[in-house]
Chains A and B, each alone.
Chain A
Amino acid sequence: MSHQPNKRGFALATTVILMMVASVSLTTLIMILGRSMRLTRSHTEAIRSFYIAEAGKAYAMWKLSPRNTDSDAVTLANCLAQNETCPLGLNVTWNKTIPTDTPSSFSVLASSSGQTAGAALIESLGQRSEGVQTARRLTKIDAFKPTRQLEPNDQALQYAVSTDQGFMVYATGYLNISPGEGEPNAGIHSNDDGYVTDLSQLRVAGPIHVKNGMWLPLPPFQTDISTTQLRADTCEGFGCYAAYNNRPEFCFGTSCEGYVGAVPFPAIDINSARDDSLKSVAREYETMYPGVKFFYTNSELEKLMDDTSKSGANGGFVELPGPITYVTGSLSMYRNYKLKVHGLLVVQGNFAAGGSKGGSFCFYPLCRPSVELVVDGFSPTTNSNVVTGLVVRGQIDMMLFLKRFDINGLIYSLGDFNICCLYEQPITTQGAIVARNYNNSNGWFDSDWPDVVMHQMTYETENLQLLVQGPRSVVDFPTVYTGHWEEEY
């Protein structure tokens, strides 16, 4: 009997195997689709969160806008009432739910690091109801701080020679002139009146000499004045007193008329996208005068000065025809750099003159002051007198090896204006010095360094208005200019 193979049972086995394969495939497919669905869901939720964050950003910008008259707008009064970091900086948070989708909400923080920042940061976080989907929006906007500083470190001093602001030295922080030992001439000299506001601090080792009167707040004023000499020619002594709104005025001389209140820190628009920013004006000139260079990077201009000083061409001077020269980045003048600018020199970063860059250092008389900067008001480009000055978005540092600093116009610094260690030549300006803080720590050397020499402004206000649309008025802290903004993604 032959053996017959048993062929039974393969159908079930085959079906079971197929079913297992199919199940695994199906499960895998379902998992993949599930993930895909979750991704899709996540994507749409992210888009929703993004727009909620966008709403938060818009909300903050409106709350900070000086145009906003809502009771909860961020003004000086409610900023102080909320005990926030003002006026040194801005730090406000809002949390809001979306009215028509209440589980959704945004949290937005507006902050700035203080006086010298010049910009505020708005950080908005949009969140959907699930609590896992969030989106973040960052926005930078220009912020300009006004004069009304109430914290001790921000006591304001305003020093002016005329009520029409024809000349002005103004600082929102201290004006502190502290010469070294043996310096007899440190002080403030003015051809007209001087003004000191309430809550100011004025410390001058030398004389305060004003041609007319020195204006002080009435007692009990909290201004701390210490100086070796106060003198006012016209007023026969230091006796012209004036104060502020709703206060009586009385005068011992003839020059006590007029009113000088808080002078807003004039916020010049340096590099916003507006048509009237200095950067845009430079661009406009570039279009008007093809072939004339109005824009430099800092390294580009520094190399040009380096090359020219070595070649000795044009007396070592780099001459920029103006009427405006715009420099991106921070500009440093050192070694034998010489620069003559016609019109406005605008520096987007910091400006330093006379320093010893790169760690190289030598001592007088081995190294003599040699850096020269001259800014005048006649532009060969336009063949006319133009607005002139030095406008810096960061801080200005005048240092040891500065030989000549002659600015025939405005010196404007959104940060500090620091003078250190000058000698031989004066800093000369024919215009106003406007800075957050003015620090003159000259006197390191017992030498013949002269005072900072200041004269009447020679440019006309109207010309300045035409070029920069005038200083922007700033009303209350913290004033944030929201006309245009830059965004970071």
Chain B
Amino acid sequence: MKRRGFTLSELVIAAAIASILAGLTAASYISIQRLVARGQDDLLAASTARVIIDRVSRDLRQALVVVDSIPPDAADGLTSLEFEDGHDVDPAGPTYITYSLDGTDVRRNRHYYYLTSSPNQRLPYNAGVVGQGGFAVASLSGEDYIIADRVSDLRFYGSSSLVYIDTSITVNAVSNDQSYHSAVAKRNQ
């Protein structure tokens, strides 16, 4: 009995097709992986931006006094903004909140100004000059924390009544920046 195996041409063709298929699969897999990673990055960036804008908006909408002079143009926008807390008004005196871009982190710092000679005496931010026997600034413990990371840009501009907020999130070096824009109209003056 004569049992014949595969012909050489069969094997060559099958191997070629299998190689092409394997190549396509590998390429697709890599591409899909990238797309999935990109999608995950976008979602992460979106949720990070939402945290920043929502938190800043909530505090700023109710803010009393805006300490910083807010430039009208985005190009001159501030990366840090300080204002008087209008939500949790402390009977002991005014409390201030600062949102700032620290490296790639956005920090929220709640603090007050006090007399160095009388630490319990809280003062408005402009009540004196640091270093001239007036007051020093101190952060309340536990009130300084990071609210978001992987932030490549944070800007405040507009006016003290209508503050524009721009932020960009870069989840990793491969992803593109995800930029978000919003604005807050202050209720209090």
Contacts and interface: CB of A to CB of B under 8 A. Distances in A.
Interface of A: 4, 7-9, 11-12, 15-16, 18-19, 22-23, 26, 29-30, 33-34, 36-37, 40-41, 43-44, 47-48, 51-52, 54-59, 61-62, 65, 67-68, 98-101, 104, 482-484
Contact of A67 (B35, B161, B180): B161
Nearest to A48: B180
A178 to B, nearest CB: 45
B182 A7 contact: no
Interface stretch (B10-18, B81-89, B99-107): B10-18
Contacts of B1: 4
B28 A30 contact: yes
Interface in B49-74: 49-50, 53, 57, 73-74
Given A44-B43, A68-B161, A59 B13 contact: no
23 contacts: A11-B10, A11-B11, A12-B10, A16-B17, A19-B18, A22-B25, A26-B28, A30-B28, A30-B32, A37-B39, A40-B42, A51-B180, A51-B182, A52-B182, A55-B164, A55-B182, A56-B183, A59-B183, A62-B162, A62-B185, A100-B74, A482-B185, A483-B187
Contacts of A52: 181-182
Contacts of B3: 7
A58 B14 contact: no
B187 A484 contact: yes
* A-B pairs, 5 with minimum CB distance: A55-B183, A51-B182, A58-B185, A40-B39, A58-B183
Contacts of B17: 15-16, 19
B4 A7 contact: yes
A37 B33 CA distance: 11
| Residue in B2, B13, B49, B182 with the greatest tally of chain A CB atoms within 10 Å | B182
Contacts, number: 112
B166 interface: yes
B150 interface: no
A34 B166 CA distance: 29
B182 A37 contact: no
A229 B111 CA distance: 71
Given A29-B32, A57-B185, A58-B183, 11 more contacts: A15-B13, A22-B25, A33-B35, A37-B39, A40-B42, A43-B43, A43-B46, A54-B183, A62-B161, A65-B161, A65-B185
A47 B50 contact: yes
A18 B18 CA distance: 9
A101 B187 contact: no
B141 interface: no
A410 B123 CA distance: 44
Nearest to B44: A44
B24 interface: yes
A210 to B, nearest CB: 42
Contacts of B45: 44
B95 interface: no
A361 to B, nearest CB: 50
Contact of B181 (A41, A61, A104): A104
A36 B180 CA distance: 22
Contacts of B50: 47
Contacts of A19: 17-18, 21
Contact of B10 (A9, A51, A55): A9
